[in-house]
Homo-oligomer: A and B are copies of this chain.
Amino acid sequence: MVRIYGDCLSGNCYKLKLVTELLGTPHAWKFVTWIDGGTKTDDFLARVNPAGKVPVLETSKGEMIPESGAALYYLARDSHLWPVGETDRAQVLRWMFFEQYSHEPFIAVSHSLKKRAAPSPETAAKLAELHPGGVRALETMEQHLSSNDWFVAGAPTIADISLYPYTSWAPSAGFDLSAYPEVHKWLGRVERLLGFVSMEDAIAQTTPA
């Protein structure tokens, strides 16, 4: 059985919860969060991830796989969420790299600032600096989804799983999704997948009481 280190407060961790629920993958969840310093303990750095971040997937043989994208690949590699064709596989990775480089640093970071930073001129300036990048990411998604129901191969893949969490947070990160109707419809398609679990339910299922 695989074990996942993380907290579903982070979209990157929630991605792993989503894929295990969609695939029905037996797994144990080990709650670790940066909020109380859990990702920076000597034990975590030495044994789990020297980079001091979650999520980390531990395979049944005890090997640690940090980085949500790598863990998604490992969990989905024999499933319908990782397509068969090599070009389709490359396109799945294309959208996963897009999410980490051109989407998450703008939309997720804006969300985090709005949620956790004290309102101040500096916070407002940082949000204004991040906004155009988030708009570009949503425009790129909107354009692709205007002729595609899913990101790759006409069916759900880990590209969709990767893009879902932080896109679904875009409204509370300061991005009005009514400007992106195709993105809005795609979010609904993801939410209707059999096994889908909401962030709230994922948090409830993985956070110690």
Residues of A in contact with B (beta carbons under 8 Å apart): 50-51, 57, 59, 61, 63, 65-71, 73-74, 77, 86-87, 89-91, 93-94, 96-98, 100-102, 104-105, 136, 140, 143-144
Contacts and interface: CB of A to CB of B under 8 A. Distances in A.
Q: Interface residues of A: mostly helix, strand, loop or mixed? A: helix
27 contacts: A50-B140, A51-B98, A51-B102, A51-B140, A57-B90, A59-B87, A61-B87, A63-B87, A63-B91, A65-B87, A65-B91, A67-B93, A67-B94, A67-B97, A69-B94, A69-B97, A70-B90, A70-B93, A70-B97, A71-B90, A73-B90, A73-B93, A77-B86, A96-B97, A97-B97, A100-B101, A105-B105
A206 to B, nearest CB: 22
A90 B104 CA distance: 21
Nearest to A92: B70
A66 B94 contact: yes
B143 A67 contact: no
